[in-house]
């Protein structure tokens, strides 16, 4: 089988970013990259804030946040009245968990593809309340139908209080059939929280069509907003039950303002956030998604070939717009969290390449992303140099 051809670059896209050109930034999915124009939009807001802090915070800021929220809700296809801006997806998950009122014996059900910080949040809330957490193993190569069947079988009506599933999994770069999963859970009366951390911008999503009781997603990854910009979308029956992690002056305003207003936070990331989707639209969302997915597929194959991984053993992401790809590392490499972190640092220091390395199900995995600022030669260089680094132990 031939290596897939890399896409044609989008003219001028690399110049939109202030990334260090001496480093191959192949891990957009972790922290994103903020375009220069978006950086400048936020800086103008910071200048406004510092010129007169009292005026900035006391005169109309709540309304400005609400205006921004409406823009971003439209971008992700969500009801603005059911959408709250939060700092990141993990924060949104914590808001939902502490608002549920879990009781002893009830359970929160997750899969083994979930994000680590979400698992920590679930464990903490279970310790506080006496509830329990349970994790369903889902094979990496499971079909969508198999994933739905595994979750259907794992649900326990009357005991399972919340199901948490990822729209795009972080450690395994897998697209889950969330709408079908939500439908199965609804048949059994079990609410669902969809962790869509990577979805906005990468996928042409409409949150309302997923139908989840709760949905959280970051916009500072694939939608080019300033970091610290995420959305928590809550179905109408749950909105009055949602409480913020910290109570402040908008508490009596109800959801979503009570969740958004956290006193003297730096709200400039939210106010500047619409400039991110504007940048995406100016480049052409379909064009960007096709480019990024094709580039990630190219990177997966050339690095996989260099590591001796047969194409049949390279996980398929489950969608043509997936801009993250996974490569299994040799047996015994990066099989623990600490070892994965150490390898990521070595790759960054010695190969001048930023990648994601994760330990999942007893094996190390390399995750590569494709973004408009990347070029095929960055993956080629990694493919040439990575085997030697791994052989050095």
pLDDT tens profile 31-86: 999 999 999 999 999 999 999 999 999 999 999 999 999 999 999 999 999 999 99
State whether 363 and 218 are in the same domain. Answer: no
Q: φ, ψ for residue 291 (rounded to 5)?
A: -60, -50
Q: How many H-runs (helices) and E-runs (strands) does the chain carry?
A: 15, 12
The CATH number for 239's domain is: 3.40.640.10
State whether 272 and 298 are in the same domain. Answer: no
| CA 306 distance to own-chain centroid | 28
Let me know if residue 378 belongs to a domain. Answer: yes
Which residues 6+ apart lie within 8 Å of 45 measured at CB?
Answer: 268, 271, 272
pLDDT, tens digit, 9 for 90 and up, residues 344-392: 999 999 999 999 999 999 999 999 999 999 999 999 999 999 999 999 9
pLDDT, tens digit, 9 for 90 and up, residues 147-189: 999 999 999 999 999 999 999 999 999 999 999 999 999 999 9
State whether 131 and 218 are in the same domain. Answer: yes
State whether 23 and 137 are in the same domain. Answer: no
State whether 148 and 260 are in the same domain. Answer: yes
Share of the chain above pLDDT 70, in %: 99
pLDDT, tens digit, 9 for 90 and up, residues 372-382: 999 999 999 99
Query: Distance between the two ends of the chain, CA-based, in angstroms?
Result: 30
Is 269:225 a contact under the CB 8 Å cutoff? yes
Burial class (CB in 10 A: 0-12, 13-18, 19+), 42: buried
Is 343:357 a contact under the CB 8 Å cutoff? yes
Is 172:326 a contact under the CB 8 Å cutoff? yes
Is 70 exceeded by the pLDDT of residue 264?
Answer: yes
What confidence score (pLDDT) does residue 319 get? 73
The domain boundary, picked from 225, 243, 278, lies at 278
The domain boundary, picked from 225, 257, 278, lies at 278
Q: What is the total count of domains within the chain? A: 2
Let me know if residue 362 belongs to a domain. Answer: yes
Question: How far, in Å, CA of 344 to CA of 237, rounded?
Answer: 43
State whether 47 and 140 are in the same domain. Answer: yes
State whether 77 and 220 are in the same domain. Answer: yes
Question: How far, in Å, CA of 340 to CA of 359, rounded?
Answer: 6
Let me know if residue 2 belongs to a domain. Answer: no
State whether 274 and 308 are in the same domain. Answer: no
State whether 212 and 303 are in the same domain. Answer: no
In this prediction the pTM is 0.96
Residues spanned by the domain of 123: 38-278
Q: φ, ψ for residue 347 (rounded to 5)?
A: -65, -40
């Amino acid at each position: 089988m031939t290596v897939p051809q890399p896409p044609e670059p989008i003219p001028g896209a690399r110049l939109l970013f202030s990334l260090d050109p001496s480093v191959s930034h192949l891990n957009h999915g972790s922290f994103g990259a903020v375009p220069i124009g978006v950086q400048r939009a936020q800086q103008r807001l910071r200048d406004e804030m510092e010129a007169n802090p009292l005026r900035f915070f006391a005169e109309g800021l709540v309304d400005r946040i609400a205006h921004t929220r409406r823009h971003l809700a439209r971008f992700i296809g969500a009801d603005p009245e059911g959408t709250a801006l939060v700092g990141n997806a993990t924060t949104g998950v914590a808001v939902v968990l502490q608002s549920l009122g879990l009781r002893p014996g009830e359970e929160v059900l997750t899969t083994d593809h979930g994000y680590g910080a979400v698992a920590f949040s679930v464990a903490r809330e279970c310790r506080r309340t006496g509830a329990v957490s349970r994790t369903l193993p889902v094979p990496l190569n499971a079909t969508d139908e198999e994933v739905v069947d595994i979750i259907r079988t794992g649900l326990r009506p009357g005991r399972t209080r919340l199901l948490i599933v990822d729209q795009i999994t972080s450690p395994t770069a897998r697209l889950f059939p969330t709408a079908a999963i939500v439908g199965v859970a609804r048949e059994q009366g079990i609410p669902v929280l969809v962790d869509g951390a990577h979805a906005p911008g990468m996928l042409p999503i409409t949150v309302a069509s997923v139908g989840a009781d709760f949905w959280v997603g970051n916009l500072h990854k694939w939608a080019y907003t300033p970091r610290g910009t995420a959305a928590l979308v809550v179905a109408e029956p749950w909105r009055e039950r949602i409480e913020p992690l910290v109570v402040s002056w908008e508490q009596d305003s109800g959801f979503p303002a009570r969740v958004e207003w956290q006193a003297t936070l730096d709200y400039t990331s939210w106010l500047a956030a619409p400039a991110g989707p504007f940048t995406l639209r100016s480049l052409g969302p379909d064009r960007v998604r096709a480019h990024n997915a094709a580039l990630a597929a190219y990177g997966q194959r050339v690095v996989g070939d260099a590591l001796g991984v047969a194409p049949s053993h390279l996980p398929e992401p489950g969608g043509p717009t997936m801009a993250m790809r996974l490569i299994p590392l040799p047996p015994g490499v990066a099989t623990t969290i600490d070892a994965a972190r150490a390898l990521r640092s070595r790759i960054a220091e010695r190969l001048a390449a930023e990648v994601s390395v994760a330990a999942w199900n007893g094996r190390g995995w390399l995750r590569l992303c494709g973004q408009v600022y990347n070029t095929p030669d960055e993956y080629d260089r990694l493919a040439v140099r990575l085997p030697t680094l791994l052989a050095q132990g």
